[in-house]
């Protein structure tokens, strides 16, 4: 379907008609749109930037990204976590060029300005502590307090996952994710139901893909229609129990979307009783025995608490996770309208035996990442969808997200949640509705109004 030609004044509402299931190709290829995304989404939304396991000890640091900005995640000697802009305040040099490590101060290789993260030495982490020639050349006429590293004002540690937000007026992380929290818990909690209890296996896969960054979150938010992408791996069979397919069986799946917040998953509807045990990793009896045991513990630990499981899910805008198989977190860092850098880390139960972790790791690596037999085919599709949307005629046309339009029904246990069966494009529409709201530059009162009204109703 044709869209009107794009001009700098085009309204995002013309390009993104989420309620009708229409999104213009323009938003996947335009430089202008991309720059607006950096300002209006990546400078305002809560972004996943790393995991506490990367900064376990005081003075540990891990370099991450927020949109096009490089940031340093640090733990100070008082065990507080900070996120600092990785650009020397003097002349912009990328202050830290290591991926991770341990240091008490960051010293710039260009002119030598240095910054401390030690809250005992300085009033605020990232403060400028060392300026070569401060007395002789600056004649002490430099207000060092004003030239500390730019600090991300809001940082939140959710069960080990670290989230950051540049906008000091943004709502808290917990309000931002709403009841999506239940699904995030399903990935981050111990398989036996204990809160937290997962750890990251070491190392981050980072790789470049010539595709628009939005292809990934819209895929993971609940596109069960793209099975043909993975038919080759299903024919071969890489599941943990052998046989055809790529995962162990997972019944009762539905696309659940949070209509006012832009998040969504493929997962179970909430329930209070654990379903029957389904063997997992049946090809490896010792590993299967572990999952059987944690299932029994889970039944006991959770009692009649509300619980869910999920396979894939997306927290708006650019973080996706798999709660089950493979259990992983992916982040999609925009590089340009037609290129992204994807990061993947993998989760296991922290106290599980080594053979269980090893089996999980092997399965993850044959499934996901650039070498993953499943994921490698996604890369091909996302790249060439981007490529084939660049033309001046192509970009006048909309993508279609009409499947299941009008069939979503509320999930009463979860605030603002809708479900629409397993195969539907409702979650895609939810993602792009939220996207359009951010791109219009709505203030937080407007962005959170629908969710807050919903909460008022639930509590009334």
What residues have CB less than 8 Å from 452, skipping those under 6 apart? none
Helix H or strand E encompassing 256: strand 254-258
Residues 135-154 that bind another protein (CB under 8 A): none
As to burial, measured by CB atoms within 10 angstroms (0-12 exposed, 13-18 middle, 19+ buried), residue 231 is exposed
206 makes contact with another protein (CB under 8 A): yes
Please, which residue, 171 or 369, has the CB nearer to another protein?
369
CA gap 336, 215 in Å, rounded: 13
Query: Closest distance between another protein and the C-beta of residue 86, in Å?
Result: 13
383 makes contact with another protein (CB under 8 A): yes
Place of tokens 């790529």: 246
What number of chain residues touch another protein (CB under 8 A)?
Answer: 47
Q: Do the beta carbons of residue 322 and residue 311 sit within 8 Å? A: yes
Query: Closest distance between another protein and the C-beta of residue 455, in Å?
Result: 39
Please, which residue, 149 or 379, has the CB nearer to another protein?
379
Which tokens hold the place of 3? Answer: 């869209």
Strands (E) across 7-103 are located at 16-17, 22-24, 47-51, 60-66, 69-75, 81-85, 100-102
User: Taking contact as CB under 8 A, which single stretch among the options 69-77, 92-100, 104-112, 433-441 is the one that binds another protein?
Assistant: 92-100
Given 3-state DSSP classes, what are the helix, strand and coil percentages for the chain, each rounded to the nearest 5? 30, 25, 45
Q: How far is CA 32 from CA 22, 26, 210, 443, in A?
A: 20, 10, 18, 21
337 makes contact with another protein (CB under 8 A): no
Which tokens hold the place of 342? Answer: 């994807």
202 makes contact with another protein (CB under 8 A): yes
371 makes contact with another protein (CB under 8 A): yes
Query: Closest distance between another protein and the C-beta of residue 42, in Å?
Result: 19
Crossing angle of helices 444-459 and 426-439, in 10° steps, is: 130
Query: Closest distance between another protein and the C-beta of residue 96, in Å?
Result: 10
Q: How far is CA 445 from CA 167, 365, 438, 455, in A?
A: 13, 42, 12, 14
Crossing angle of helices 426-439 and 31-40, in 10° steps, is: 80
Q: Out of 209, 216, 294, 436, point to the residue binding another protein (CB under 8 A).
A: 209
Q: Out of 69, 118, 167, 358, point to the residue binding another protein (CB under 8 A).
A: 358
Q: Do the beta carbons of residue 218 and residue 225 sit within 8 Å? A: no
Q: Out of 91, 97, 244, 300, point to the residue binding another protein (CB under 8 A).
A: 97
Residues 252-281 that bind another protein (CB under 8 A): none
Q: Out of 10, 43, 59, 100, point to the residue binding another protein (CB under 8 A).
A: 100
Q: Out of 185, 375, 451, 454, point to the residue binding another protein (CB under 8 A).
A: 375
**Nearest Cα to 163, choosing from 48, 42, 45, 44?**
48
Query: Closest distance between another protein and the C-beta of residue 236, in Å?
Result: 5
Q: Out of 224, 282, 299, 365, point to the residue binding another protein (CB under 8 A).
A: 365
373 makes contact with another protein (CB under 8 A): yes
Q: Out of 346, 399, 435, 438, point to the residue binding another protein (CB under 8 A).
A: 346
Please, which residue, 37 or 378, has the CB nearer to another protein?
378
229 makes contact with another protein (CB under 8 A): yes
118 makes contact with another protein (CB under 8 A): no
Q: Do the beta carbons of residue 61 and residue 52 sit within 8 Å? A: no
Query: Closest distance between another protein and the C-beta of residue 340, in Å?
Result: 10
User: Taking contact as CB under 8 A, which single stretch among the options 133-141, 337-345, 414-422, 442-450 is the one that binds another protein?
Assistant: 337-345
Q: Name the pairing type of β-strands 81-85 and 22-24.
A: unpaired
User: Taking contact as CB under 8 A, which single stretch among the options 166-174, 289-297, 298-306, 381-389 is the one that binds another protein?
Assistant: 381-389
Q: Out of 207, 225, 250, 444, point to the residue binding another protein (CB under 8 A).
A: 207
Q: Out of 35, 232, 336, 445, point to the residue binding another protein (CB under 8 A).
A: 232
- Per-residue contact string for residues 406-425; x = within reach of another protein by CB under 8 A: --------------------
Strands (E) across 86-226 are located at 100-102, 105-107, 114-116, 127-130, 154-158, 161-165, 198-200, 205-209
Q: Is 378 helix (H, G, I), strand (E, B) or coil?
A: helix
**Nearest Cα to 341, choosing from 61, 68, 25, 55?**
68
104 makes contact with another protein (CB under 8 A): no
203 makes contact with another protein (CB under 8 A): yes
Contact set with another protein (CB under 8 A): 97-101, 103, 201-211, 229, 231-233, 235-238, 341, 344-346, 358, 361-362, 364-366, 369-371, 373, 375-377, 379-381, 383-384
């Amino acid at each position: 379907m044709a869209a009107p030609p794009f001009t700098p004044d085009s309204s995002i509402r013309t390009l993104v008609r989420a309620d009708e299931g229409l999104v213009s190709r323009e938003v996947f290829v335009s430089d202008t749109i991309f720059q607006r995304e950096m300002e209006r989404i990546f400078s305002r939304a809560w972004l996943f930037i790393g995991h506490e396991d990367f900064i376990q000890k005081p003075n540990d640091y891990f370099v991450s990204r927020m949109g096009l900005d490089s940031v340093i995640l640090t733990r100070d000697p008082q065990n507080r976590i900070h996120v600092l802009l990785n650009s020397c305040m003097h002349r912009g040099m990328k202050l830290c060029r290591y991926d991770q490590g341990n240091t008490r101060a960051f010293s710039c290789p260009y002119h030598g300005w240095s910054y401390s993260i030690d809250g005992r030495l300085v009033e605020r982490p990232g403060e400028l502590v060392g300026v070569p020639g401060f007395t002789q050349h600056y004649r002490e006429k430099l207000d060092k307090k004003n030239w500390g590293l730019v600090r991300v004002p809001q940082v939140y540690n959710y069960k080990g996952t670290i989230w950051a937000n540049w906008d000091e007026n943004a709502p808290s992380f917990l309000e931002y994710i709403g009841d999506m929290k239940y699904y995030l818990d399903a990935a981050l909690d111990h398989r036996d139901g204990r809160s937290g209890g997962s750890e990251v296996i070491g190392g981050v896969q980072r790789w470049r893909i010539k595709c628009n960054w939005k292809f990934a979150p819209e895929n993971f938010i609940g596109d069960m229609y793209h099975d043909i992408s993975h038919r080759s791996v299903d024919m071969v069979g890489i599941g943990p129990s052998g046989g055809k397919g790529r995962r162990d069986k997972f019944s009762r799946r539905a696309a659940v979307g949070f209509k006012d917040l832009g998040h969504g998953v493929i997962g179970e509807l909430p329930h209070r009783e654990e379903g029957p045990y389904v063997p997992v990793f049946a090809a490896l009896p010792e590993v299967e025995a572990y999952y059987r045991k944690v299932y029994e513990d889970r039944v006991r630990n959770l009692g009649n608490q509300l619980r869910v499981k999920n396979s894939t899910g997306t927290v708006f805008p650019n973080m996706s996770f798999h709660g089950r198989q493979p259990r992983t977190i992916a982040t999609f860092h925009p590089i340009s309208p037609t290129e992204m850098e994807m990061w993947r880390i993998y989760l296991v139960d922290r106290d599980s035996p080594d053979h269980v972790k090893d089996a999980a790791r092997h399965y993850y690596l044959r499934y996901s990442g650039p070498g993953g037999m499943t994921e490698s085919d996604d890369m091909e599709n996302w790249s060439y969808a981007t490529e084939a949307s660049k033309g001046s005629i192509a970009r006048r046309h909309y993508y279609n997200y009409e499947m299941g339009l009008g069939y979503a029904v509320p999930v009463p246990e979860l605030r603002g949640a809708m479900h629409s069966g397993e195969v539907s494009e409702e979650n895609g529409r939810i993602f792009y509705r939220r996207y359009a709201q951010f791109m219009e530059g709505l203030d937080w009162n407007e962005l959170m109004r629908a969710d807050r009204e919903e909460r008022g109703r639930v509590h009334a």
